């Protein structure tokens, strides 16, 4: 079945942009789910938990059955087993960037997908390794001044000015950006759906 529309259970402008790049007409339906820390849960499992709960909240609000696929996702930065979510403020963002300086970390992005005709949903997760250059205090201050940090896991967005901070990446770039597109497309295909035809 060829898809044309998808519901995004998120207000993330990056995920919206990525889904539109695949040709989808995207309906944004913020889940209203508040991400909370879960002590003892690994960063990877935390990403999956949040994605699942965002989807659950959105489906409960919309009700079944659904006419279009509903997608929720969550990204967590993993520094030596410690999850870094969105910073609370600029001071918290600075602390995160200082902790990532000259280090390797892992970015986990999980998504949960519900499709028409199914009473259950599918969950997937992708992980990518990222290494930062050693950052000078001036670099961190200049990046914080862009305003990019506050709504992003780990206090940086690789697709923006933070590209200048990244020394190497091992894995899927789009996982770091917030939605592993190839994994999503393949999941849709397994479920019997194909992408829109765009000019």
User: For residue 111, what are the β-bridge partners?
Assistant: 73, 124
Query: Which has the closest alpha carbon to 76: 44, 98, 100?
Result: 44
Query: Which has the closest alpha carbon to 9: 111, 83, 87?
Result: 111
Contact indicator for 89, 150 with CB cutoff of 8 Å: yes
State the sign of the Cα–Cα–Cα–Cα dihedral 166, 172, 174, 180.
negative
Q: 45, 67, 74, 80: which is the annotated catalytic residue? A: 74
Burial group, residue 2, by CB count within 10 angstroms (0-12, 13-18, 19+):
exposed
What does the alpha-carbon distance between residue 128 and residue 173 come to, in Å, rounded to a whole number?
Answer: 8
Catalytic (active site) residue 151: no
Contact indicator for 78, 109 with CB cutoff of 8 Å: no
Residues with a catalytic annotation lie at 74
């Amino acid at each position: 079945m060829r898809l044309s529309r998808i519901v995004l259970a998120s207000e993330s402008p990056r995920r919206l942009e990525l889904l539109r790049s695949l040709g989808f007409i995207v309906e944004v339906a913020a889940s209203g789910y508040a991400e909370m820390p879960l002590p003892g849960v690994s960063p990877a499992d935390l990403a999956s938990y949040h994605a699942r709960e965002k989807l659950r909240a959105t489906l409960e609000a919309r009700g079944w059955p659904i006419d279009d696929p509903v997608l929720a996702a969550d990204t967590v930065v993993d520094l030596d087993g410690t999850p870094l979510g969105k910073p609370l403020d600029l001071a918290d963002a600075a602390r995160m960037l200082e902790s990532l300086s000259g280090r390797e970390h892992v970015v986990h992005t999980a998504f949960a997908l519900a499709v028409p005709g199914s009473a259950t949903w599918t969950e997937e997760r992708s992980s990518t390794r990222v290494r930062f250059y050693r950052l000078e205090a001036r670099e961190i201050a200049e990046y914080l001044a862009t305003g990019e940090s506050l709504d992003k896991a780990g206090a940086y967005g690789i697709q923006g000015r933070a590209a200048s901070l990244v020394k190497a990446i091992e894995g899927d770039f789009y996982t770091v950006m917030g939605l592993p597109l190839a994994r999503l497309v393949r999941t849709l295909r397994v479920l019997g759906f194909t992408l829109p035809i765009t000019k």
